[in-house]
């Protein structure tokens, strides 16, 4: 852990035990792999939607009353009819899927507009499907997708102007790009009833830093002018938020000479958080403003296994002071006191106390899976079943194994901190050789760690294998001569070191191995998940593993 992060952590702990702790909150406000946040306010409640890429359910939605305590209430994509051939989450590639949504509310209806990126190997190119879903309740159910035809690029925004017109704001590669990765922002009126683009298409802006990955646009109106903020620089160390304004929504747009308005590109690579960008602005009832944006905590090799997370920073508006300027523009100033994302911040509302979840427990005592569970792509039909009589999750040994663009009997929840303890109890007494089940730590189809029992002949073996970039780096296997069908798995993680334990009797655990798991660190898209796995390793059978519970506990230092 770098020195800067230790310093900030000590400050946080000081405030946590002081009488004034309620006056501060800590970033990130939504820990774990929740990137590209977009926010809206309805009444006294705030809603955030995030990218989900190839994971299902897609488009996670959180709600809050105070902007610092967030509850996962549902998903925009939550049933099979929504992920058909148009919005393909069945065999979508890694890092494809759902990109950078925008959530907005108008006349009692919630709208999410977003992109599904699907690489067609036959065509040799990626298809960008931009679509809208709607709901009367942000917790769902949400409509089937309405595909916006003729809309290139990714990261669309939906803007409801005060004259009743609705606008689509998107990004695309210029007709004659100057370099690979150059982007430009475009705008066109949208018939919100027919979900069709109408009228003339307008090219607005190529960004403030040469248009390097100019994307993630959001449009606002203030002081009689239109403000366009975008993400630029790519979603890594050079990530940033830029802003431009215009008297006319169709342009031309003037770039803020003080761009970027928030970034970590000018800070040390060892700053406690990096890659900050992709913001969305929110105005409160009392006129104060905040921005939600993404960032990556610096915990493992200038990253973390949580990937890109959601952060909150204050924002003010300041008018240019220059006497020589005839028109003195009003510009947003993000994190006005420090100019950067801080761990500790003043709470938004007085008497608000941040209560971050310290654990996740699922005893499988509901007829439906807990909302925290995710699958890589839409799950295989009937691959799991909740035994409501015994409160167990049965995970079937499907022939599929973990592989690129594939689906397996694999599910997990997001890792939210680097230091944790993960515990589960499994009953697994397979009849078929090569049946396998246990726990998994996974980030992509080619980056994961499995800790499982596999049957070979009439013997059961406990094994761990580490897969990095599709190659098995390490395989440890021991025969369990006293195995009777029941086993407890326990993992204690300290930064990027995973200690793997097991118990065949009671709570007496034996260390099986310790290994390094930094390859689960975010690759710029998604974070790691902790979960459960079963497979027949290519063979069809009726075997299944039965899990009594999972218990995820964050370790406090």
Instruction: Give the containing element (helix H, strand E) for 447.
Output: strand 447-456
Taking the C-alpha atoms of residue 51 and residue 414, their distance in angstroms, rounded to an integer, is 13
Q: What are phi and psi of 556, to 5 degrees?
A: -95, 135
Which residue among 215, 232, 280, 496 is the active-site one? 215
Taking the C-alpha atoms of residue 483 and residue 500, their distance in angstroms, rounded to an integer, is 17
Taking the C-alpha atoms of residue 276 and residue 256, their distance in angstroms, rounded to an integer, is 19
| Torsion, Cα of 409, 413, 418, 421 (10° steps) | -80
Q: Which two structure tokens, joined as six digits, stand for 235? A: 């979603």
Residues in the chain: 557
Taking the C-alpha atoms of residue 458 and residue 478, their distance in angstroms, rounded to an integer, is 14
Q: Tell me if 342 sits within 8 A of 335, measured CB to CB.
A: yes
Q: How far is CA 495 from CA 4, 422, 442, 515, in A?
A: 16, 14, 16, 11
Nearest to 188 by CA among 173, 175, 203: 203
Taking the C-alpha atoms of residue 333 and residue 321, their distance in angstroms, rounded to an integer, is 14
Nearest to 187 by CA among 217, 229, 221, 225: 217
Decide if 215 is catalytic: yes
Dmax over Cα atoms in the chain, in whole Å? 87
Taking the C-alpha atoms of residue 411 and residue 385, their distance in angstroms, rounded to an integer, is 13
Please tell me whether the peptide bond between 141 and the residue prior to it is cis, using omega within 30 degrees of 0.
Answer: yes
Three-state SS sequence of 286-352: CCCEEEEEEEEECCECCECCCCEEEEEEEEEEEECCCCCCCCCCEEEEECCCCCCCCCEEECCCCCC
Q: How far is CA 114 from CA 36, 51, 153, 301, 444, in A?
A: 11, 9, 10, 31, 22
Taking the C-alpha atoms of residue 307 and residue 525, their distance in angstroms, rounded to an integer, is 7
Decide if 36 is catalytic: yes
Nearest to 61 by CA among 85, 45, 43, 80: 45
Residue with tokens 């051939």: 85
At residue 24, the 3 state secondary structure works out as strand
The residues assigned a catalytic role are 36, 215
């Amino acid at each position: 852990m770098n020195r800067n992060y230790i310093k900030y952590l000590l400050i946080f702990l000081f405030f946590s035990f002081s009488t004034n702790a309620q006056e501060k909150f800590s970033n990130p406000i939504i820990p774990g792999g929740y990137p590209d946040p977009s926010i809206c306010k309805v009444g006294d409640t705030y809603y955030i939607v995030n990218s989900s890429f190839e994971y299902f359910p897609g488009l996670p939605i959180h709600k809050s009353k105070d902007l610092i305590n967030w509850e996962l209430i549902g998903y925009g994509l939550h049933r099979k009819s929504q992920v058909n051939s148009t919005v393909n989450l069945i065999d979508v590639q890694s890092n494809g899927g759902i990109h950078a949504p925008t959530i907005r509310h108008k006349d009692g209806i919630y709208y999410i507009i977003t992109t599904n990126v699907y690489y067609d190997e036959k065509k040799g190119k990626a298809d960008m499907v931009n679509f809208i879903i709607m709901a009367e309740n942000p917790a769902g159910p949400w409509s089937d997708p309405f595909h916006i035809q003729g809309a290139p690029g990714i990261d669309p925004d939906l803007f409801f102007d005060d004259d009743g017109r609705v606008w689509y704001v998107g990004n695309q590669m210029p007709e004659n790009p100057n370099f690979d990765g150059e982007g430009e922002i475009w705008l066109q009126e949208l018939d919100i009833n027919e979900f069709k683009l109408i009228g003339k298409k307008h090219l607005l802006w190529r960004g403030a830093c040469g248009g390097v990955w100019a994307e993630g646009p959001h449009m606002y109106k203030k002081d009689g002018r239109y403000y366009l903020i975008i993400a630029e620089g790519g979603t890594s160390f050079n990530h940033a938020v830029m802003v431009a304004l215009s008297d006319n929504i169709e342009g031309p747009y003037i770039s803020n000479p003080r761009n970027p308005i928030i970034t970590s590109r000018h800070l040390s690579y060892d700053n406690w958080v990096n890659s900050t960008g992709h913001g969305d602005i929110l105005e409160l009832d009392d006129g104060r403003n905040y921005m939600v944006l993404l960032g990556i905590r610096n915990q493992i090799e200038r990253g973390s296994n949580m990937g890109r997370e959601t952060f909150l920073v204050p924002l003010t508006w300041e008018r240019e002071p220059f006497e020589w300027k005839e028109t003195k523009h009003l510009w947003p100033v993000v994190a006005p006191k420090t100019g950067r994302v801080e761990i500790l911040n003043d709470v938004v509302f007085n008497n608000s106390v941040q209560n971050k979840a310290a654990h996740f427990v699922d005893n499988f005592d509901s007829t439906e899976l807990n909302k925290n569970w995710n699958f890589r792509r839409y799950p295989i039909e009937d691959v799991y079943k909740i035994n409501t009589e015994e409160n167990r999750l049965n995970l079937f040994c499907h022939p599929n194994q973990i592989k690129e663009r594939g689906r397996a009997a694999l599910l997990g929840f997001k890792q939210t901190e680097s230091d944790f303890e993960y515990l589960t109890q499994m009953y697994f007494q397979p009849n078929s050789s090569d049946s396998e089940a246990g726990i998994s730590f996974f980030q992509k189809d080619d980056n994961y760690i499995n800790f499982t029992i596999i049957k070979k002949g009439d013997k059961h073996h406990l094994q761990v294998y580490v897969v990095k970039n599709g190659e098995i780096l390490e395989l440890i296997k021991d025969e369990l001569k006293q195995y009777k069908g029941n086993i407890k798995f326990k993992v204690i993680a300290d930064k990027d070191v995973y200690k793997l334990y097991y118990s065949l009797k009671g709570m007496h655990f034996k260390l099986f191995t310790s290994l390094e798991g930094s390859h689960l660190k975010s690759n710029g898209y998604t974070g790691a998940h902790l979960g459960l796995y079963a497979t027949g390793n290519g063979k069809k059978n009726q075997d299944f593993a039965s899990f009594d519970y999972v218990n995820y506990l964050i370790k406090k230092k």
